[in-house]
Amino acid sequence: MSKLVAPHGGKGLVCSLLEGAAREAELKKAAGLKKVEISARVRGDLIMMGIGGFSPLDSFMTKADWKSVCDKFTLADGTFWPVPVVLDTNDDSVKVGDEIALVFKDETYATMKVTEKYALTDDEKKWECEKIFKGVGEDSADDKFWKVALEDHPGVKMVMAQGKFNLAGPVKVLSEGGYPERYPGVYMRPADLRAKLDEKGWGTVAALQLRNPMHRSHEYLAKIAVEVCDGVVIHSLIGNLKPGDIPAEVRVPCIDKLVELYFVKDNIIQAGYPLDMRYAGPREALLHALFRQNFGMNRLIVGRDHAGVGDFYGMFEAQDIFDQIPVTGNPAKDLLTQPLKIDWTFYCKKCDGMASLRTCPHGKEDRVILSGTKLRKMLSDGSDIPDHFGREEVLDMLRKYYASLTEKVEVKMQAAASGSKM
């Protein structure tokens, strides 16, 4: 009998992925359908719907769903959902009732029955951005947000660049985008990871969300969670990131090395999921918790500036939002995976070890401030990495990656990463 948390939405894992003969028949049918080009973000959303990661979703959102998600954190039927999952297009020829093929870089990822087509004005897109991406940080101030976001917030830029129309309707997913082949043993469908967790007999399972290579703070967070849970899944994003972030094919071997040398392997699983980052801070933390529920995890480690970018969000806004979302009392409607809230962590020279603001009485001058952005900045600039920032075996791998780059993207430091807000 599984001890794991139930999938979100009360319907079990809702999977839209076709396999075998059914997939071959649908691919043949798709060859004769009108083709609609999709974005990388939509591709990731499709794969998640395919494998059950976005349960109970089996279709892109209607306008009623889109509006309710932005305004109330729920789908139109009252089921919790924190960010829009929409399919945008500029193709005016698509009509309600059409069957279409969804294509990314010449590969057909899905077919779709169009049940609704709706336009979003620029004002509606701006409203979405303010609901989803605007936080309480300095860059989100009323007199600053739109001056900064159009240049510096990748999620805002993506929404404002969307096509004129959104298409809603159920999908039949035909591809996992090559992830099983590129990341064997790491890319797992929810059913696969749940089976592995059940095999271990785990019930209380924490997810460590990663989009950066693990530094000492990530390692410390995972080890705190290991102490209070049955086990931890280091669950890293293997989809697309913004320019300047470190790709998954570099991060995955770094995590392997860290787990090999510094963790009790029986208590840790490394896995990956195929979404693109939205950089939505608190709202994205909620999405991270929601799909972790589908993967069998009932805790999400949430530390400082989770899923943030720039200075758009408060340091612990992604923790606070879990206390502000709607709760109906119906487990089929509510978010069941809860945050494991951990304070700002760092290495303290006087404590002679990892610590947090809750445990360390010393001053900023005694602390090595750890952040993924700061690490990427130092590696990109060729700067020396301070002692205790990361494990030397991992840093060596990252230095080789940066030395191989012919072009480097400037990494902007936000206040949180620099430690100036401590």
Task: Report, as residue numbers or ranges, the catalytic residues.
Answer: 211-212
Question: What phi, psi does 210 have (nearest 5°)?
Answer: -135, 135
Partner residues linked to 209 by β-bridges = 235
State the CB neighbour count (10 A cutoff) for residue 181: 9
Query: Measured between alpha carbons, how far is 197 from 201 in angstroms, rounded to an integer?
Result: 6
Q: Three-state SS for 36?
A: strand
Bond prior to 282 in cis (omega within 30° of 0): no
| Residues contacting 267, CB < 8 A, separation 6+ | 226, 231, 232
CB 84, CB 67: distance < 8 Å: no
Strand (E) or helix (H) holding 99: strand 99-104
Torsion angle of C-alpha atoms 208, 210, 212, 217, degrees rounded to 10? -20
Nearest to 54 by CA among 238, 232, 334, 295: 295
E strand or H helix that includes residue 220: helix 216-228
Q: How far is CA 391 from CA 246, 394, 397, 398, 419, in A?
A: 17, 5, 10, 11, 20
